[in-house]
Structure 1
């Protein structure tokens, strides 16, 4: 087996934690992959709201952040850094990307939080602010996929700004046209079965 296996990019896809995933950081996590190649992977956990208001750490961005207007914990890495993920409706259609926004996948992109918020206000359909991110080294995510730690499914722009993040794990699984829809009914505590 050669060391240079071709990595088909999962950028823009969702990683949905399987009930088998033991890492408490990712219990029932739904991760949006922002970058995935042979160098490794980077994503943000979409369903971990914190009690911190966006405006408390990023003045001016709070008005643009959807409900709940709090910072989300994007993952265990670099918790002191903020990352903005924004959906630009029509951004998928090949229109020029607005200043301060870089397409990741379709209408989903990264927001430059150094830019003035009003620059993006009219273009953004939704915005979510994340503290920290989830990262994997080269080949690490592929190993976890082989081990059955994650389901890989298509993302939808609404996943980024789901107003009830505590339901996202089930909602994403439920919309799958496969046996994954059944996993959505998995009890929070399997010992209750």
Structure 2
């Protein structure tokens, strides 16, 4: 079966709006145990956001102050939900750039890319200003950087069994703690994480 004939059973030859879950044998350390939401996938390549790498001690209010969107004295007046927005290390490409995955209740003309029914991507500073002012989306995560693949590269990794494909949903992206997204994504496709361990014994 060729790539064009939908070898992954998703109903489309492309994986926009799906999640990739790294197999235990993933050779690239940058993607070990990664869960990646695929934002764009075409014959030219693919890009996605790693969902389970929290950005250390960096939080959304810190970031808004660092970017001078909010002066430090105003930080205390930020809407409460701003502090609940997760900041992630989204991938090794353009790590100084921010990408916001968010619910579809917020849209900026020319800037917001709807990916599927429950998730959009906006990568301009205007969405951060809106979030700071309480006008942003109800649900959001901010990623610094992204994961990228050249033409045919992701297809090759899939055929080499580097990734499992998992249907995405807003709950897993916005509401599940980053630390357990890997296990939750595996369970969504009926796999117990222990079953995938490279050290697992035989039944």
TM-score, scaled relative to structure 1: 0.78
Shift of 1:56: 1.9
Could you tell me how far apart the structure 2 residues matched to 1:187 and 1:153 are?
A: 15
2:191 to 178, 182, 185: 182
> What SS does the aligned partner of 2:142 have?
strand
More helix by share: 2
Shift in Å, 1:192: 7.3
Query: Secondary structure of 2:30's match?
Result: helix
Question: Runs of 5+ in structure 2 lacking a partner?
Answer: 7-12, 71-77
Distance 1:56 1:62 in 2: 14
Shift of 1:9: 1.6
Q: Which moved more, 1:45-54 or 1:106-115?
A: 106-115
Q: CA offsets, 1:147-175, max 9 Å, x none?
A: 00001121001122234211111111112
Please list every run of at least 4 consecutive aligned residues from structure 1 whose deviation after the TM superposition is greater than 6 angstroms. none
Larger mean Cα displacement after TM superposition, 28-37 or 56-65: 56-65
Equivalent residue of 1:103, what SS? strand
Q: In 2, distance between residues paired with 1:118 and 1:175?
A: 31
Residues 98-109 of structure 1 aligned to structure 2 (within 5 Å): 98-99=107-108, 101-109=112-120
Aligned length: 178
Residue 156 (structure 1) aligned with residue 169 (structure 2): yes
Given the alignment of the two structures, is residue 140 of structure 1 paired with residue 153 of structure 2, yes or no? Answer: yes
> Would you say the 8 A contact 2:130–2:136 is kept in 1?
no
CA RMSD for the aligned pairs?
Answer: 2.9
Match of 1:9 in 2: 14
Q: Matches of 1:9 and 1:15 in 2, distance apart?
A: 12
* Alpha carbons of structure 1 residues 112 and 81: separation in structure 2 relative to 1, 3 Å: closer
Match of 1:79?
95
Structure 2 equivalent of residue 32 of structure 1: 37
* Structure 1 runs not aligned, ≥5 long: 92-96
For 1:49, what is the secondary structure of its paired residue?
coil
Q: CA deviation at 1:106?
A: 1.3
For residues 41 and 139 of structure 2, the distance between their equivalents in structure 1, rounded to whole angstroms, comes to: 23
Which residue in the other structure is 1:94 paired with?
none
Deviation, 1:42, is 0.2
Q: CA deviation at 1:53?
A: 1.3
Shift in alpha-carbon separation, 1:43–1:112, aligned structure 2, 3 A: closer
**Higher alpha-carbon Rg:** 2
Per the TM alignment, residue 103 of structure 1 is displaced from its structure 2 partner at its CA by 0.9
The structure where strand makes up a greater share of residues is 1
Tell me the CA shift for residue 55 of structure 1. Answer: 2.0
Distance 1:119 1:131, change over 3 A: closer
Cα 1:136–1:64, aligned 2, differ >3 Å: closer, same or farther?
A: farther
Does 23-32 or 130-139 show the bigger shift? Answer: 23-32
